[in-house]
Chains A and B, each alone.
Chain A
Amino acid sequence: MGYRTPLFAEHEALGARMVPFGGWEMPLHYGSQVREHHRVRRDAGMFDVSHMLVVDVVGGEAATFLRRLLANDPARLRTPGKALYSCMLNQRGGVIDDLILYFRAPDHYRLVVNAAVAERDLAWMRDRTEGLAVTIQPRRELAMLAVQGPNARAKAADALPAELRAQALGLQSFRAAEQGDWFVSRTGYTGEDGFEIVCPGGEAPALWRGLARTGVAPCGLGARDTLRLEAGMNLSGQDMDETRGPLESGLAWTVAWEPAGRDFIGRRALEAQRARGGLRRMVGLLLMGRGVLRGHQAVLSNGEPMGEITSGGFAPTLQRSIALARVAPDLGAECEVSIRDRAVPARVVKPPFVRNGEARIDL
């Protein structure tokens, strides 16, 4: 049996299908994953993401530590509440995890990491604090909900503590506001507008019920995965991992090369990769023939292997099958995918596939 979030009883009461995920018992869906997907694209849905770990990085040398730890540059954050997406690399330039970093004060940052590798992340971070005035503080007592969709912010505002409401509604994208242990950011993992809300675990059930009362639909990890795939967002451990770094995972834009003197972990390995050239690249695929794209299917060109799908599935918004794939640099605009021993034609496209409810590729 896995760990349970403070919302476990809510999921059970709603008849969720619970599945093991990264050591946790989490809701896969509450009846229909596809219906939940559409609710987020068209209205508002909520996800229990309390399995993700909030980590506070505190101390006079927090910035020094983070600028060494992360491939993106925390120095880009200068105002309280500003957020930055980054990979945390190993020495070989592979991705240990991806995360969102928030600036709260010059000596106080917050990051949110993935559940499955949270312990590994903590150990890695702690091992690198030596000699620095910085402490790593996991905040397991905090719960986290994502509220996503075109109507998410308006509906969520009513369920937030009154003193946070106006601030939350005034947030720009990738900004956060806080009040006590409540922390609201205009971020997400679906390609829709919305909030991610951190609050004390004991207050999460009341927030969940409050959101349900304003018409926000409970959504499980199944819909979360199809939404993020349509949004062209990577899943750490699947689309990139400790052997496949950001340059081969469509995440070169998250690597801050400047200033050249910032010696972040993995920098030398990435520079060597870049100098060597011939790197595989991440592309989107749209299936033209019949079937469903899935992870690990081979990408072919004229029968020759050219790469592999890292995430694939049926895209409910597009009513087509799509994928992210890591392919040879010279793959053209057309390819085939080996689906159950048949080569089925597919088109190479540039993610995202969907943003804010609209298709962003030609179908």
Chain B
Amino acid sequence: MSNTPGDLKYTEEHEWVRDNGDGTLTVGITDHAQEALGDLVFIELPEVGRRVEGAQACAVVESVKAASDVYSPLEGEVTETNPALEGAPETINEDPYGEGWLFKLRPSAASPLDSLLDAAGYRAFLEQEA
């Protein structure tokens, strides 16, 4: 069973979201997602400053197997991207919830974090998908 930390929020597209407490969120892909994709070999990240809508494709992760879109969990503005991934996409496989984060987002006021799944909800979703 894959790892799903209790302090994060999740989407049904297998992104995780961490509330940084400073008005920004950090976004990545879940342990389940990285395991299903296999070794990651190429990452395309959104430009800093880009406005994204909720559930909008804004990044691409490519594994040895296939390319997958990453969706913005909420509406907002991209404030930072992870520079370490450019030369080391495998960081996502090694540490999906830590060093393997993708981008940071400043959600718009109308974008409630509690609309996302909590860890229990995501685990239930995974079980139902399996």
Name A residues whose Cβ lies closer than 8 Å to a Cβ of B: 17, 28-29, 32-35, 222, 226, 290-292, 294, 313-314, 321, 340
Contacts of A17 in B (CB 8 A): 38
Q: Report the 8 A-B pairs with minimum CB-CB distance, sorted nearest first.
A: A314-B41, A34-B39, A292-B62, A292-B42, A33-B64, A33-B39, A32-B39, A33-B38
B67 partner, pick from A33, A34, A226, A294, beta carbons under 8 A = A294
A29 to B38, CA, bound (A): 9
Name B residues whose Cβ lies closer than 8 Å to a Cβ of A: 38-39, 41-42, 44, 60, 62, 64-67, 90, 93
Contacts of B42 in A (CB 8 A): 290-292, 314, 321
A340 partner, pick from B38, B60, B64, B93, beta carbons under 8 A = B60
A-B residue pairs in contact (CB < 8 Å), sample of 16? A29-B38, A32-B39, A32-B93, A34-B39, A34-B41, A34-B64, A222-B64, A226-B64, A290-B42, A292-B41, A292-B62, A292-B67, A313-B64, A314-B62, A321-B41, A340-B60
Contacts of B41 in A (CB 8 A): 34, 292, 314, 321
Contacts of B90 in A (CB 8 A): 34
A136 to B107, CA, bound (A): 68
Contacts of A294 in B (CB 8 A): 66-67
A222 to B39, CA, bound (A): 10
Interface residues of A: mostly helix, strand, loop or mixed? Answer: mixed
Contacts of B62 in A (CB 8 A): 291-292, 314
B65 partner, pick from A32, A35, A222, beta carbons under 8 A = A222
Contacts of B93 in A (CB 8 A): 32
Contacts of A34 in B (CB 8 A): 39, 41, 64, 90
- Chain B nearest CB: distance from A236 CB in Å? 20
A32 to B65, CA, bound (A): 12
A91 to B38, CA, bound (A): 41
A28 contacts B38, C-beta separation under 8 Å: yes
Contacts of B64 in A (CB 8 A): 33-34, 222, 226, 313-314
A17 to B2, CA, bound (A): 14
A290 to B85, CA, bound (A): 14
- Chain B nearest CB: distance from A183 CB in Å? 32
A195 to B67, CA, bound (A): 34
Which residue of chain B has its CB nearest to the CB of A220? B38
Which residue of chain B has its CB nearest to the CB of A294? B67
A222 partner, pick from B38, B44, B60, B67, beta carbons under 8 A = B38
Contacts of A35 in B (CB 8 A): 39
8 further contact pairs, Cβ within 8 A, besides A33-B39, A321-B41: A33-B64, A34-B90, A226-B64, A291-B42, A292-B41, A292-B67, A313-B64, A314-B42
- Chain A nearest CB: distance from B46 CB in Å? 14
A340 contacts B67, C-beta separation under 8 Å: yes
A292 to B65, CA, bound (A): 10
Which residue of chain B has its CB nearest to the CB of A225? B64
A110 to B90, CA, bound (A): 43
- Chain B nearest CB: distance from A37 CB in Å? 9
Of A28, A292, A294, the most chain B CB neighbours within 10 A belong to A292
- Chain A nearest CB: distance from B38 CB in Å? 6
A290 contacts B39, C-beta separation under 8 Å: no
Contacts of A321 in B (CB 8 A): 41-42
- Chain B nearest CB: distance from A16 CB in Å? 12
Which residue of chain B has its CB nearest to the CB of A29? B38
- Chain B nearest CB: distance from A289 CB in Å? 11
A269 to B122, CA, bound (A): 57
A33 to B35, CA, bound (A): 11
A321 to B60, CA, bound (A): 16
- Chain A nearest CB: distance from B20 CB in Å? 29
- Chain A nearest CB: distance from B47 CB in Å? 14
A77 to B95, CA, bound (A): 53
Contacts of A340 in B (CB 8 A): 60, 67
Contacts of B65 in A (CB 8 A): 222
Contacts of B39 in A (CB 8 A): 32-35
Which residue of chain A has its CB nearest to the CB of B87? A319
A34 to B91, CA, bound (A): 13
Contacts of B38 in A (CB 8 A): 17, 28-29, 33, 222
